[in-house]
Structure 1
Amino acid sequence: MLSAESRPYIDASVPVLREHGLAITTVFYKALFEAHPQLHNIFNAGNQANGSQQQSLASAVFAYAANIDNQAALAPVISRIVHKHVSLGVTAEHYPIVGHHLLASIKQVLGDAATPELIAAWAEAYGLLAQALINEENKLYKAAGTQPGDLFDMRVVAIDQQSDQIKSFSLVPVEGKLPTFKPGQYISVAVHLPSGLRQLRQYSLSDTPDHQHLRISVKREDAGKETAGMVSNWLHDNVVVGSVIPASKPFGDFTPDTESDGPIVLLSAGVGITPMISALNRIAKVSPGRRVIFAHAARNASHHPHQADIAQAVALMPNLHSVTFYEEDEVDQDSVTCLAGRMQLKKLPQWDVNKANIYMCGPLPFMQAQWADLVEKGVPEFRLHREVFGPDMLDHLL
């Protein structure tokens, strides 16, 4: 628990961080990589170049300061960060390095305002947060039976074009058993780029755990963006059947309830469909009579992935209501399963808001819009779950 001496300084930091957080984290990353260039192999170079990594850390620091006494609000964020860190191989040794450069950056940006008392308070607060993360990460490493940084060679046994932009890659271990996972989880995939940089990216698993493979579905990012999709595009351009890709064990705490028989609502947009397909395929296997509302938003039919999975589930599940929204395509005006425009809850089948859990994945504006509509509809917030990464996971705390 934060000491009484430090608490006023942390409380006073909230407006300061709101104003200077991005400047602090920009200075931080520059100094960190100059002193420890090997950390480029852990951090996302694309997010560094487009500024989202800096924004993510600024958001995290501000959210932590603003909610330091609200552990209930911080706990889900800490859990999400812990799973991400373990998938990347973060260790306890990384935290003192980060802490040193973070405090130095606060001092540099704030100047005289960064009094010894303020820096001491933040050193204490950072130490508490770091230890909490270390403890939880150690538990997760132990539960997964893996060591920090362990990757396992996976051979590509099938590649399928799921849409104009998305390919799926089916993977099996070169040695050993297929790791278990829950629908909604992801693996980290490592590639060595032509520049010599090693990069890790997380991809949700997009099939049921019952198969004898892991499947990821990867979206090619638009060309012309200097850093967009450097790993995803490399996978599209270079991986063939027979290729071997190093990958982590599955992690992630966004795990839709696929094992019970109560109603469930799965909402997605774009490549956010991938964890939902994993959940849908699992439900079709273990509880095909379950009532499921599966709604997906896509730009058009050519951008709509995993249509074969959805069609197979529809054939197997008499109580599945699958609705697709195409923003650009014209659709049959009499159709109840394919609708024009953006997703609207009022156009979905109705459900008992006090009985069904709702899971969503997609771009942040999509999830914010659905969340707001669901709350207005009367859905209790404890029934709302979403899969997000980066600064997006903190928007409800800021």
Structure 2
Amino acid sequence: MLRQDTVAIVKQTIPVLQEHGETLTRHFYQRMFQQNPEVKPFFNPAHQKAGTQQRALAGAICAYAQHIDNPAALGDAVEQIAQKHVSLGIRPEHYPIVGENLLASIREVLGEAATDDIIDAWAEAYGVLADIFIQREGEVFQQQEDTYGWQGFKTFVVEKRERCSENIESFYLCPADGTELALHQAGQYITVRIPLPDGSTTMRNYSLSNMPGEPWFRISVKHERGSVEGTPDGVVSGYLHEKLKVGESVEVAPPSGEFTLTLPQEPEKPLVFIAGGVGITPLMSMLQVALDESPADRPIVFIQAAIDGAVQPFAEELETLNRRYDNLALHVRFSDPGADDLAVGRCQSSGIVDAALLEELVGDTPASYYFCGPTPMLRHVRQLLKARGVADRDQHFEFFGPAQAID
């Protein structure tokens, strides 16, 4: 437990953190990478370049300060971060590195305003937070060992590659030692670690897009191109698309993640999935489980949003499911359909997902929603659902990349 004077001092720093948070976190990452380059493989350089990692950390620090006297309020955020840390192999010995650089950054950025009392208070607060993460992450590592039979990274072999769209390729990965895979939870992701030319390694998380219980992990990877000037192309996605061949090996960590499917207890309650671009990957796994395990009369709506038919993933797979299950309503909407996309029936409508579409497909029946896609889409769907009066407990979503505010 934190001392009351520590709580009071940390809360007093909230206005300063709100004003200077991103400056502080930018300085923190620069300092840490310079002082402790061994931690760089844990971070995505594209997120660093775009500033999303810095904004996410600044938001997390402010949230911790605001709830420092009630850390239970941060339970969902702690779980999300702990799962991500485990997926990357972050261990207790990494926390002193972060703490040392964070405290030094507070002093260096704030200057004389960072009094000894403030530094001491944040040192104590960071220690308590680090202990929370270390304990939870230890539990998750043990759960992975118990469920999947390994921690850290294990060698897998590419069994098959399959083109999923113009810019997305599916990779079917099987354990090199021939062991049978335990059931993952629909919505989880795995971590892939690849070698770099300088002899180091880097890691990325990819959602599992296949039905649990199959003899492989399937990841469906978009070949990322730098969308912001100066932002590099995806290092790992480029490696997978351009270099990783069938029969070759790659290192994989066990499934992680808290964005998982929970079927509504009410058998008649509809499930609605809203997928944007490559954000469809965890929802494909969820959809297959929902169709397999739900009552035959549960309405399941799947809305796929894409730019056009060229970059629409899983078109044939979705159509096969749509024909097989009478309770599935599939609607494909392209924001910029090609000349023949509508004519040949690749999509049912054009534009963005809007209130009229949800009214048409769902009506006023209370439903449970799962959605995933680019951050602007998440913000838009979140506002649509709030306007429809959908309770937070019925809204489930995941960011690809650092979590950001969407309200």
Please tell me the TM-score bracket, short chain as reference.
over 0.9
Please state how far the C-alpha of 1:181 moved relative to its aligned partner.
Answer: 0.6
Q: Contact between 2:144 and 2:151, CA under 8 Å: does it hold in 1? A: no
- Among 252, 275, 280, which residue is 1:247 paired with? 252
The RMSD of aligned alpha carbons is 2.3
User: Taking structure 1 as reference, are residues 45 and 357 closer, same or farther at Cα in structure 2, changes over 3 Å only?
Assistant: same
3-state SS of 2:203 partner: strand
Please give the alpha-carbon distance, in whole angstroms, between the structure 1 residues aligned to 2:19 and 2:343: 50
Please give the alpha-carbon distance, in whole angstroms, between the structure 2 residues aligned to 1:259 and 1:211: 24
Measured against aligned partners, the alpha-carbon deviations of 1:290-332 in whole angstroms (never above 9, x if no partner) come to 3211011101111110112211110111011111110111664
Please state how far the C-alpha of 1:19 moved relative to its aligned partner.
Answer: 1.6
The more displaced of 31-40 and 111-120 is 31-40
Measured against aligned partners, the alpha-carbon deviations of 1:216-248 in whole angstroms (never above 9, x if no partner) come to 010011268552311111110001111111000
Q: Contact between 1:160 and 1:169, CA under 8 Å: does it hold in 2? A: yes
Gaps of 5+ in 1: none
Q: Contact between 2:47 and 2:401, CA under 8 Å: does it hold in 1? A: no
Please state how far the C-alpha of 1:250 moved relative to its aligned partner.
Answer: 0.3
| Paired residue type of 1:269 | G
Q: Corresponding residue for 1:234? A: 239
Please give the alpha-carbon distance, in whole angstroms, between the structure 1 residues aligned to 2:40 and 2:156: 23
User: Taking structure 1 as reference, are residues 389 and 131 closer, same or farther at Cα in structure 2, changes over 3 Å only?
Assistant: farther
User: Do residues 169 (structure 1) and 167 (structure 2) align?
Assistant: no
| Paired residue type of 2:399 | V
User: Taking structure 1 as reference, are residues 336 and 202 closer, same or farther at Cα in structure 2, changes over 3 Å only?
Assistant: closer
Please give the alpha-carbon distance, in whole angstroms, between the structure 2 residues aligned to 1:154 and 1:148: 13
User: Taking structure 1 as reference, are residues 341 and 394 closer, same or farther at Cα in structure 2, changes over 3 Å only?
Assistant: closer
| Paired residue type of 1:150 | G
Please state how far the C-alpha of 1:53 moved relative to its aligned partner.
Answer: 2.2
Identical amino acids, percent of aligned pairs? 36
3-state SS of 2:380 partner: helix
TM-score (norm 1): 0.93
User: Taking structure 1 as reference, are residues 195 and 227 closer, same or farther at Cα in structure 2, changes over 3 Å only?
Assistant: farther
Q: Contact between 2:166 and 2:311, CA under 8 Å: does it hold in 1? A: yes
User: Do residues 304 (structure 1) and 316 (structure 2) align?
Assistant: no
User: Do residues 373 (structure 1) and 373 (structure 2) align?
Assistant: no
Q: Contact between 2:207 and 2:282, CA under 8 Å: does it hold in 1? A: yes
User: Taking structure 1 as reference, are residues 108 and 345 closer, same or farther at Cα in structure 2, changes over 3 Å only?
Assistant: same
TM-score (norm 2): 0.91
Alignment coverage as a number of residue pairs: 395
Please state how far the C-alpha of 1:98 moved relative to its aligned partner.
Answer: 0.6
Q: Corresponding residue for 2:133? A: 133
| Paired residue type of 1:138 | G
| Paired residue type of 2:303 | A
Please state how far the C-alpha of 1:3 moved relative to its aligned partner.
Answer: 2.0
Alignment of 1:1-398 (within 5 A): 1-145=1-145, 150-175=152-177, 176-222=179-225, 226-258=231-263, 261=267, 262-287=269-294, 289=296, 290-329=298-337, 332=342, 338-348=348-358, 349-351=361-363, 353-354=365-366, 356-395=367-406
Q: Contact between 1:280 and 1:313, CA under 8 Å: does it hold in 2? A: no
Please state how far the C-alpha of 1:49 moved relative to its aligned partner.
Answer: 3.1
The more displaced of 326-335 and 99-108 is 326-335
Please state how far the C-alpha of 1:16 moved relative to its aligned partner.
Answer: 0.6
Gaps of 5+ in 2: none
